[in-house]
Amino acid sequence: DGDGYGDNNEVGAESPDHWPQDDSRNVAEASLSCSLVEPEVNLAVGPKFAFTCTVTHAMQVAITARVTWDGGADAFGGSRSQTVVITPEAGNATLWFQTEVARKVPIDLVITVVEPGSNAAMDEVTLEVDVIDSRLTEIDAPTQTEWTDMSWWVDDERGQVALGQVLLIVLLLGLLVRGRRLSNRWQEEREALAMALVERRRTAPPMSTSPPPPQGIPGLGQRPPQP
């Protein structure tokens, strides 16, 4: 019919034309549905995850379907494509894929099903893969984590006991630091007083060893000495 596809529509044929009399139709027609085995990937458990894809067709002849996925640079490993022959009696085929993630980022898996030799996809779906790490769970902001949330300290009995122990340790450390400061200050004051006493003794005038002369009583006349 001049559409560029061959009239041979047998299994394994290159660029088969399943409607050789209709130039508006050529490749096989099929639908694709995919789903994750687990709803999310937890890096605390492991980076691997799996998904399945089912190819369904209602044609009266067997078709060859190739399912290919692409997850970008953050998804790697495992087979990126599988090929299956689906007979009219079967009507569908389910394929299983496994790969792994490189880091904690959301991933979009773009999955297509084509007939070998054709450049046109029979169907395409996108799977959104949610990647988490339960060891460090985000709450409100990327910088706020579960282990920084203090609400459980107040609500949980064990948290209250732990919080009391922490406060007691902080109080004891504060008293210890304050005691050391007071002890150091008292030691400095004693040393300064001792140095002042030494300096006073060093600069004081020497004391006389002879007794002072007798002094009269004020207000009384002095009796002259006896001859």
pLDDT (tens digit per residue) in 148-180? 555 555 556 777 778 788 888 998 888 888 888
Same domain? For 116 and 45 the reply is yes
- My answer on whether 123 and 173 are in the same domain is no
**Does residue 68 form part of some domain?**
yes
- The reply to whether 161 and 121 lie within a common domain is no
Same domain, 56 and 128: yes
65 in any annotated domain: yes
Whether 53 is in a domain gets the answer: yes
- And the tokens for 141? 């902001």
Tokens 């394994």 locate to 12
pLDDT above 70: percentage of residues in the chain: 74
Average pLDDT in the 45-52 region? 94
- Return the pLDDT at 151: 59
Cα–Cα–Cα angle for 53, 127, 106, rounded to 5 degrees: 140
Domain carrying residue 49: 31-132
Residue 158, token pair as written in the block: 């064990």
> pLDDT digits over 107-161, tens only?
999 999 998 877 789 999 999 999 999 887 555 445 544 555 555 555 567 777 7
Q: Which of 132, 164, 185 is the last residue of a domain?
A: 132
93 and 171 together in one domain: no
Q: Which of the four pLDDT bands, split at 50, 70 and 90, describes residue 192?
A: confident
For residue 77, is it left (φ>0), alpha (ψ between -120 and 50) or beta? left
Q: Is residue 14 a part of any domain in this protein? A: no
105 in the same domain as 191:
no
Residue 219: CB atoms within 10 Å? 5
In a domain, 150, yes or no: no
What the block records as the tokens of 168 is: 């007691």
Q: First and final CA of the chain: distance in angstroms?
A: 174
Q: Tell me if 116 sits within 8 A of 81, measured CB to CB.
A: no
What's the whole-model pTM score? 0.55
**Which residue is it, tokens 């022959």?**
85
Domain membership flag for residue 57: yes
Q: Please check whether residues 127 and 159 belong to one and the same domain.
A: no
Q: Are 48 and 113 in a shared domain?
A: yes
Q: What distance in Å separates the CA atoms of residue 107 and residue 75, rounded to the nearest whole number? A: 8
Whether residues 72 and 162 share a domain: the answer is no
φ/ψ of 53, rounded to 5, equals -135, 135
- Tokens read off for 156: 């949980």
Domain count, the chain: 2
Asked if residues 34 and 52 have their Cβ atoms less than 8 Å apart, the reply is yes
pLDDT higher than threshold 90 for residue 227: no
Higher pLDDT, 50 or 185: 50
In a domain, 109, yes or no: yes
Same domain, 51 and 128: yes
Whether 50 and 122 share a structural domain: yes
